[in-house]
Amino acid sequence: MKRKTRERHVTVEEFEEFYAQAVARLTGQLYVMTGDLQEAQDVVQEAFVKAWVRRGRLEREGQPEAWIRTVAWRLAVSRWRFRRRSADAWGLGSGRSPAHVEPPGPDHVALVAALRELPAQQRRTLTLHYLCDLTVEQIAGETGLSTSTIKTHLVRGRAALAYRLQDPRIEEARDV
């Protein structure tokens, strides 16, 4: 006979406090992973809705922020795949132009361009390590990849960014 375990549900106040503390950080992390602020905001909000539904299990598992980040990432990937399949099916390009915003600075443009050139898994691994401050083992646990694969992504990602972000003025100064 199975015993029913009584789940301790997080109170509304506790969940609101957790949300207030984590939403900006998670949105920033997903923005770096996806390169799209609106998408990051949407998937983080949707992940929080899913977290509310399973708040008893999240409390028991003890890592609600990691769970929300993983769910948000998976939602972003699913949405990207859906849009890609839809665009392919209808023969459409991206088509939409964003609302007017102030242009980013040159350093921001260079970093975003360099990050976009990285494979998605390297970009995600770098984000989890440097922005989320997760260890190699924590990243492995969250992504399901081995620690050696995580280390490989970090080494290759750092090397690729270093190469892409070289300042030509520094190279010129070295040659003189």
Give the predicted TM-score (pTM) of the model.
0.54
- Between 52-56, 96-100, 141-145, the lowest mean confidence (pLDDT) is in 96-100
- CA 173: distance to chain centroid? 37
Structure confidence at residue 97 as a pLDDT band (50, 70, 90): low
Residue 43 in contact with residue 29, Cβ under 8 Å? no
The pLDDT tens digits of the residues spanning 24-67 come to 999 998 888 888 889 899 999 999 999 988 877 776 667 888 88
Cα separation, 64 vs 140, in Å, equals: 17
Q: Tell me phi and psi for residue 23, to 5 degrees.
A: -65, -45
Q: Tell me phi and psi for residue 174, to 5 degrees.
A: -70, -35
CB-count burial class (<10 Å; 0-12, 13-18, 19+) for 78: exposed
Residue 142 has pLDDT above 60, yes or no: yes
Residue 128 has pLDDT above 60, yes or no: yes
Which residue in 117, 129, 17 sits closest to 69, CA to CA?
129
Percent of the chain with pLDDT over 90: 32
Structure confidence at residue 122 as a pLDDT band (50, 70, 90): very high
The pLDDT, as a whole number, for residue 3 is 47
Residue 87 has pLDDT above 70, yes or no: no
The answer for residues whose C-beta is within 8 angstroms of residue 8's C-beta and 6 or more apart is 56, 59, 60
Cα separation, 50 vs 98, in Å, equals: 28
CB-count burial class (<10 Å; 0-12, 13-18, 19+) for 55: buried
Name the more confident of 137 and 170: 137
Residue 74 in contact with residue 82, Cβ under 8 Å? no
The tokens for 10 are 């997080």
For the chain, the C-alpha Rg in angstroms (whole number) is 20
Residue 135 has pLDDT above 90, yes or no: yes
The tokens for 33 are 């992973």
